[in-house]
Each structure stands twice: as structure tokens, then as C-alpha cells.
Structure 1
Amino acid sequence: MDNLTAVRTFLRVVETGSFARAADSLQLPRNSVTKLVQQLEAHLRIKLLNRTTRRVSPTSDGTAYYERMARLVGEWDEVEDELARARSHPRGRLRVDMGTTIASLLLIPSLARFHARYPDVQLDIGASDRPVDLVGERVDCVIRAGTVTDPSLVARHLGSLPQAACASPDYLAAHGVPAHPSDLEGGHTLIRYVFAGSNRAQPVVLSRGDATVEVKGRYFVSVNESGALLSAALAGLGVMHAPAFISGRHVDSGALVRVLDGWRAPDVPIHLVYPANRHLSARVRVFADWMIELFRESPYTLPPGPPRG
């Protein structure tokens, strides 16, 4: 038995939850995958997997073995990767999680350029606005908004997001154009964004010169996903306050109109985050460098540097 191949096969079965999906992923016959796992169990003299007609899951021994071997195989792959190729030619799978609008509006439209530059990197992108457990969900890195204070995490500043308030022309025709943040407290409807997992509303605090106003206002709809926030604004459901890259293209086209010019909220810093105890792979490094390029190029984002208050 090729022990390393058997271990890799077992890892992929656990990650996919299926012998069939693991076989497809590894481009092996399903019976070969089954045989390799059986040989590994016989070699170790323990049962690694619970098998039912509906799913495959690791036993307690299998979970412990997976966690140790996933780390060891990952380090093995990194050593071979770094010896085989220079930094400009990384290879392998990169699992990264980010907000839906970062993925759909900033990353994915430019992803063909990343693939052309790094054709041997396979990106597994998780796109949602919910918090992600890097270790528990086996994610290599995440893109997070705000300040990162957890000492167990390393954060690389990618850039910052200016924020803007806007609404559809139909909404403004019906309700008028707010000239001061206090106008939003009466006669207007906000589209409220709440953080996924906590249902805590995102505060809207606007400043101009020495004046600062916290806007609460009434709302017709609240959402916990930034794509839905944009859809609600385009549908004329209220005034949206969000990072300018979300609304920028629609403001340029006239589908949305910016309001409260001169009033602004602090820029939102964006970081690429990974566990401090994890070796920084060439894949993560070049991905972070490329994301910084996107922040420099986009007319709706700011490059790394101190965010404006």
C-alpha cells in the first residue's frame, strides 16, 4: 500500500463526505478509493469512518487521525511546493471565505487575471456574510471587515472601503432628497443591515466637520446579506448606507443616487486573516498581493494605508 496516497484519499473522503465525490475529485475509480481506505484502516487497526447509505462521517478515532494527518500532509505539500516552484509559481488548493459582495463585485470579475497569472492555484471560495471559524471549517484564510484584535490571528491590511448613502430615483421622487442626517429620522425609510449570526444592526454614524450624528430611523426591511441590501435599494425600499463599491456602478448608471454629500462615515478597513500558528503558504501570499492590486485599481476602494476617520 502507498501510505501517502491512502492518507490523501482518506482526507478527501472526510472533506467531501462521500466516497463517490472523493473519487471524482481525485479522478480515481470509486472501488480504488474504497480499497485504499480499507487498507489504511487495516494498517492502523482502527475504524476511521462510519458508513451509512446516506453519508460517510469520521469516527472519533478518524477525526483525531484526520486532524493530525491533514496538518502533516499540508506541511508536506508546502515543503514540496516551495522546493518545486518559486513564489511566482504556487500551486494547490486555496480555501478562502469572504462577504458575498466582495466576492461577486470585486473578486470574481477579475478572477480570470489571477488564473492567468497563477494557473496552478485552485480557489475554493466561500461567499457569505456570516462569521467563519477558520480552524473548525478548515479555511486557509478569510477576508474580514473591521479591526482584527484576536491575538491568535494574523491580519494583512488589503485596503479600505469608503461608505456612502444612496437611494433609487423613484424613492427620492416619492420621499424627497435628505439634506441632513436628521432628515432620515422622519419622512424617510432606511434599509437596515444586521450582522449575520447576531442580528445586531449595523450603526450609521455620519460626520461633517465637528458635527456627528447617529442615525437610527425607521425601516421597512432589514437584511443580513449585502447582496440583498443592494437589491432592496434598487427596488426603491429605502435609503441604503453601505460601502461605496456596492453601490458605485449603480450610481454611475443612474440606477441609484448618492445623498447626504459632505456627510461621511469612517472607512472600513479590510484584512486578509489567517491563524497565527499556520505557516503562510505561497498561495495565501500571492492571493493577498493580488487582492491589494484590486483595491488599488478599483475606483470605489482605497489601497492599504490608514483609513480615513
Structure 2
Amino acid sequence: MNKLQAMEVFVQVVDTGSFTRAAQVLDLPKASVSTLVQALEASLSAKLLHRTTRMVTVTSDGAAYYERCVRILSDVREAEESLSRMRINPSGRLRVDTPTGLSSEILVPALPSFFERYPDITLELGSTDRPIDLVEEGVDCAVRGGPLLDTSLIARRVGIINFVTAASPAYLARYGMPQHPNDLVRHRCVNYFSAKTGKVYDWDFNRDGERIEVPMPGVIALNDSNTYVQAGLAGLGIVQMTDYLLMRHVEEGRMVQVLPDWVSDALPVHIVYPQNRHMSAKVRVFVEWVSEVFANHPQMRLGAQPAVAPAASLTA
């Protein structure tokens, strides 16, 4: 039995709570995962896991052994990578999850520079606006906007998101330009809802110490940022979305900024990864690259101010 491999398999089973999911993450046959854990238990003369038809849980002996395994595997990876960084570039498969709009608008266009630096890394880039379980889904790291709700993850703040409120010229020609957030109750608005909870998000506005947070009336709610922008372009209503997705449409005349004197709450952007894993070289270089991309982006860098378009006039 390869003891280190058996330890890695055991840790993955505990992390995912399943032999099947552990096998998927490690790209091993389920039978091999089960055999390695059984051999590990036999070599230790201790039962590490409770198995039922529905779930796998760790025993008290298994919990203590799990903590030791995590430290040992982390030390081994650190020792290997400290040597490999001196000889070769980072390599291998890297699984990353990012929000859809941020991925399509900022990260994907910048990826040629990443592959020029790290040609031996194979990137699997998932784009979704729903929160995911990094360990269960075998994701190495994720880019996330907004407050961090999962305290089990290590996070590095890499940027900031500002928001813009806008509508299509056709919509404003028909319904008029709101002058105050309270005017929005007489308008159609495109709402955004949480893919996890189904909750529709309220809109917030700030100006000179005055804060307004109100639910928006609307006939449609969406949960994908790119689709959301398309709804605004189609004239379905007023939208409030990240400035990096909306401002180019404003600058090109397809959208008009609404209530430019009112600022919405900015959100932090973090890269997160599981805390029970030593940051591998490929994750480290990806984190550094994303930080660099955002630092050079006028709307994403830390401290960036909300964008305001030149005043536009509308005629009916």
C-alpha cells in the first residue's frame, strides 16, 4: 500500500463525505478508494470511518488521524513544490470557478497572458453565478464577489465591484427618466434573484449621507449576469448591474445611465480556497495573475470609484 496515497484518499473521503465523490475528485475507481481506506484501517488496527448506505462519517480515531494526515500531506506538497519551483514552471490541471460576467468580460480576454507565462497549466474554468462547495466539487479556487459567508475558506481580497443603474434609450423614451430612487416605484425594473435561495435582491442608493434601500417592481427576475444585461438592452426595464458589464454599453449609446448622482454599495472581490490544503504552485500563480489583472483594470482595482457617464439627453 502507498501510505501517502491512502492518506490522501482518506482525507478526500472525509472532506466530501462520500467514497463516490472522493473517487470523482481524485479520478480513481470507487473500488480503489474503498480498498485503500480499508488497507489503511487494517495497517492502523483502527476503524476510521462509519459507513452506511446513505452517508460516511468519521470516527473519533478517524478525526484525530485526519488532522495529522492533513498536516503531513501539506508538508509533503510544500517540500515538493519548493523544489519544483526552482526547476520547472507550475503544471497540471487547475480547476477554477468564477462569476459569469466577470469571467466573460475580464478574465477570459486576459487569459492569453496567463498561458504565455504558464504554458504547462491546463485550466478548467467554470462560470456560474451560484455559490459552490469547492471541496465537494473538486475546485481548487474560486473568484467570489460580495461578503464571504463560508468561514472555512481562506480568502485574499483582489478587487472591488461597483454598480451602475441604467436603461435602454427606447425604454426611457417611453417611460421617462427617473430623477430620484423613489421614482423607480413607477417604473419597470429587471430584478436579480439568488440562485441558491431564490431571494430577489433589493436595490440600494446612497447620496450625501442619505441611504435608500427598496424592492424594485418588475415583470422579470433573472439569475445570470450576462442574461440580465441583455434584458436591459432589450428594453425590458431599468437594470442595476456591475459597471464593468454595463459601462461599455453606456459609452456606446446602447444604454443610458440612470440616477448617476446616486451610488450603490460596492462589493469586495476575493479569491478563496480550502484552508485544509496547502496552496499549490499553480493556485499561487493564478491568484497572483488575477490580482494583477484586477489591479490594472480601472473598474476592478481596489479603491476604484463608480463610473459616471457624460450626461445624455433623450427625445421622445
The alpha carbon displacement at 1:170 in A equals 1.2
Match of residue 292 from structure 1: 291
Residues 247-297 of structure 1: per-residue CA shift (max 9 Å, x gap): 122122211111101101121110111122221222222212211222122
1: CA distance, partners of 2:304 / 2:151: 21
Deviations 1:71-107 (A, max 9, x none): 9888755543331224993222221111111111111
Match of 2:201 in 1: 202
Q: What is the aligned partner in structure 2 of residue 219 from structure 1? A: 218
Shift of 1:2: 9.3
Q: Where does residue 107 of structure 2 map in the other structure?
A: 107
Deviation at 1:144, TM superposition (A): 1.3
Conservation of the 8 A alpha-carbon contact between 1:268 and 1:307: no
CA distance in 2 between partners of 1:277 and 1:42 (Å)? 23
2:201–2:215 Cα contact (<8 Å) kept: no
Aligned partner of 1:304 in structure 2 is 302
Please give the residue correspondences for 1:219-298 in structure 2 after superposition, counting only pairs within 5 Å: 219-298=218-297
Equivalent positions of 1:67-78 (< 5 A) are: none
Residues 190 and 231, structure 2, Cα contact 8 Å, conserved in 1: yes
Task: Answer with 130-139 or 107-116: which moved more.
Answer: 130-139
CA contact (8 A) 1:190 1:218 kept: yes
Contact 1:159–1:302 (CA<8 Å) still a contact in 2? yes
| Change over 3 Å in CA distance of 1:87–1:304 after alignment to 2 | farther
Partner of 2:81: 81
Match of residue 48 from structure 1: none
- The CA distance in 1 between the partners of 2:6 and 2:38, in whole Å, is 11
Aligned residue in 2 for 1:138? 138
Runs of 5+ unmatched residues, structure 1? 24-32, 46-58
SS at match of 2:240: strand
SS of the aligned residue for 1:295 comes to helix
Question: What displacement does 1:4 show?
Answer: 8.9
- The 3-state SS of whatever aligns with 1:219 is coil
SS of match in other structure, 2:178: coil
TM-superposed CA distance for 1:150, in Å, is: 4.0
User: Residues 40 and 133 (structure 1 numbering): CA distance in 2 closer, same or farther, change over 3 Å?
Assistant: closer
1:116-168 deviations in Å (ceiling 9; x for gaps)? 01112221112111111122222111111122254322110011011110111
Root-mean-square deviation (CA, aligned residues, Å) is 4.0
In structure 2, what is the equivalent of residue 184 of structure 1? 184
**Is the contact made by 2:81 and 2:280 (CA closer than 8 Å) also made in structure 1?**
no
CA separation of 1:75/1:239 partners in 2, compared to 1, >3 Å: closer, same or farther? Answer: farther
Once the two structures are overlaid, the 10-residue window that deviates more, 90-99 or 69-78, is: 69-78
Alpha-carbon distance between aligned partners in 1 of 2:128 and 2:79, rounded to the nearest angstrom: 32
Matched AA of 1:144: R
Q: Which string of whole-angstrom CA distances, capped at 9 and with x for unpartnered residues, describes residues 179-217 of structure 1?
A: 21111111x111000111101112211011022222323
- Partner of residue 128, structure 1: 128
Q: Is the 8 A contact 2:100 2:224 kept in 1?
A: yes
1:94 aligns with 2:89: no
Change (3 A) 1:184 1:88: farther
| Matching residue's letter, 1:198 | T
Contact 2:144-2:272 at 8 Å conserved across structures: yes
Instruction: Indicate the SS of the match to 1:85.
Output: helix
Q: Percent identity?
A: 38
Q: Which runs of 5+ in 2 are unaligned?
A: 13-19, 43-55, 307-316
Indicate conservation of the 8 Å contact 1:184/1:215, yes or no: no
**C-alpha distance in 1 between matches for 2:37 and 2:22:** 19
Relative to structure 1, the CA distance from residue 272 to residue 200 in structure 2 (aligned partners, 3 Å threshold; closer, same or farther) is same
Q: Distance in 2 between matches of 1:284 and 1:70?
A: 18
Which SS does the other structure have where 1:160 is aligned?
Answer: strand
Q: How many residues align?
A: 288
Deviation at 1:242?
1.2
Q: What one-letter code is carried by the residue in structure 2 that aligns with 1:116?
A: E
Contact 1:292 1:304 in 2 (8 A): no
In structure 1, give the amino acid aligned to 2:210. Answer: A
* Distance in 2 of aligned mates of 1:86 and 1:249: 43
Contact 2:77 2:278 in 1 (8 A): no
What is the TM-score of this pair, normalised by structure 1?
0.75
